[in-house]
Amino acid sequence: MKNSSHIFPGYFLRYFIIVIFSLSYSYISSGKGYYLLFVEGLVVLIRKVIIIGSGPAGLTSALYTARGNLKPLVISGFQWGGQLMLTSEVENYPGFPEGIMGPDLMSLMRKQVERFGAEFVDDNVTKVDFSRVPFKITVGDDVHEAHCVILATGANAMWLGLESEQKLIGKGASSCATCDGAFFRNREIVVIGGGDSALEEALFLTKFASKVTVIHRRHELRASKIMQERAFKHEKISFLWDSEVLEVLGKDKVEGVRMRNLKTNEESEMKTDGFFVAIGHKPNSEFLKGHIDLDERGYIIRKNWTQTSVEGVFSAGDIHDYRYRQAVTAAAHGCEAAIDAEKYLEAKGVE
């Protein structure tokens, strides 16, 4: 057994260093972004706000909370910058008359946020605990704590998963007709899928394309009757049934598709300029299951504007918005969530 008189000086010294460190840290930070607490001799940093996700929603929340002096911590995810890092030209984000490349837009957003002092952890959140305040956010071995959390983890479009398809994303392969349709004026396009969203995309794309072919694995569509009627009637839309895409052809841009007929097993090729996949989206909310209310597809259910089912936890962007799914709407949600978070902290007296 160790003699306590030998332990005491070391223990005392450690505690003393922590106190000095803590006091000077509090002094330097002026107590504005976070609190320091002692728990069993350890310093615990409690943030005012943690933002999870760094797409347009997360970075806009970070911009507003950083400018509001809340010193946010942004846990940006493996794919910092979000979905726009996967695309080439963005022509519909206001302020860029010549358009801007997706990754450039996200780098500018991040720079703007960093200018106001937000801190970043470029990793994924693995676990959350919203059962009491301060909320706990786990990233690998680290646990971060905050009075308030903004969830902005977005949603990913589902792809067929072909290597050739992944290589051509942003080069003619897309999952967003609203975003990329205008690049295909007077071109031929294929749309993959058989549900309402596939037909919605196909109908939207007829505004630009000379021809739209819907490729579907079955012989009938899952889409609603009304959508089917509209699509069947449209002179620019045709259907290729019982067909599965095996490869997207083209080196630097989409040039065609290689397919197999699932009834006859015959393979064929077809020329196309655009390849749109419309087989659904998956919200990045696995780690939130059981902690806040999600709908049956995994999207966050919001109440009282941007608040989730847990007071003090807010949401922004594609993680709750399955309707608009645009960079500018995600950014707007980010602004709303930041303003609501600020008001919440004020009302709780967290200064």
Ligand X SMILES: Cc1cc2nc3c(=O)[nH]c(=O)nc-3n(C[C@H](O)[C@H](O)[C@H](O)COP(=O)(O)OP(=O)(O)OC[C@H]3O[C@@H](n4cnc5c(N)ncnc54)[C@H](O)[C@@H]3O)c2cc1C
The set of catalytic residues is 176, 179-180
Structural contact between residues 189 and 166, judged by C-beta atoms closer than 8 angstroms: no
Query: Can residue 181 be called a binding residue for ligand X (CB under 6 A)?
Result: no
Q: How far is the CB of 283 from ligand X (least distance, A)?
A: 9
Query: Can residue 337 be called a binding residue for ligand X (CB under 6 A)?
Result: no
Residues numbered 28-87 forming contacts with ligand X, rule: CB under 6 A: 52-58, 75-84, 86-87
Q: Which of 35, 96, 183, 287 binds ligand X (CB under 6 A)?
A: 287
| Cβ-based nearer residue to ligand X, 70 or 288 | 288
User: CB under 6 A: which stretch of 35-43, 232-240, 260-268, 313-321 binds ligand X?
Assistant: 313-321
Query: Can residue 328 be called a binding residue for ligand X (CB under 6 A)?
Result: yes
Q: How many residues bind ligand X (CB under 6 A)?
A: 44
Paired tokens of 246: 């095996």
Residues numbered 117-176 forming contacts with ligand X, rule: CB under 6 A: 124-125, 152-154, 157, 169-170, 174-176
Q: Determine the Cα–Cα distance for residues 141 and 45; give it in Å rounded to an integer.
A: 15
| Cβ-based nearer residue to ligand X, 176 or 240 | 176
Helix axes 56-67, 102-115, angle to 10 degrees: 20
| Cβ-based nearer residue to ligand X, 29 or 138 | 138
Q: Which of 73, 205, 330, 338 binds ligand X (CB under 6 A)?
A: 330
| Cβ-based nearer residue to ligand X, 236 or 281 | 281
Query: Can residue 92 be called a binding residue for ligand X (CB under 6 A)?
Result: yes
Query: Can residue 326 be called a binding residue for ligand X (CB under 6 A)?
Result: yes
Structural contact between residues 276 and 190, judged by C-beta atoms closer than 8 angstroms: yes
User: CB under 6 A: which stretch of 188-196, 215-223, 235-243, 325-333 binds ligand X?
Assistant: 325-333
Query: Can residue 250 be called a binding residue for ligand X (CB under 6 A)?
Result: no
Q: How far is the CB of 241 from ligand X (least distance, A)?
A: 27
Q: How far is the CB of 106 from ligand X (least distance, A)?
A: 8
Q: How far is the CB of 284 from ligand X (least distance, A)?
A: 4
Q: How far is the CB of 93 from ligand X (least distance, A)?
A: 6
Query: Can residue 204 be called a binding residue for ligand X (CB under 6 A)?
Result: no
Query: Can residue 197 be called a binding residue for ligand X (CB under 6 A)?
Result: no
Q: Alpha carbon 54 to chain centroid distance?
A: 7
| Cβ-based nearer residue to ligand X, 41 or 94 | 94
Q: Determine the Cα–Cα distance for residues 214 and 194; give it in Å rounded to an integer.
A: 8
Q: Determine the Cα–Cα distance for residues 346 and 193; give it in Å rounded to an integer.
A: 47
Q: How far is the CB of 141 from ligand X (least distance, A)?
A: 15
Q: How far is the CB of 154 from ligand X (least distance, A)?
A: 2
Query: Can residue 308 be called a binding residue for ligand X (CB under 6 A)?
Result: no
Structural contact between residues 258 and 240, judged by C-beta atoms closer than 8 angstroms: no
Residues of this chain that interact with ligand X (CB under 6 A) are 52-58, 75-84, 86-87, 90, 92-93, 124-125, 152-154, 157, 169-170, 174-176, 179, 284, 287, 317-319, 325-328, 330
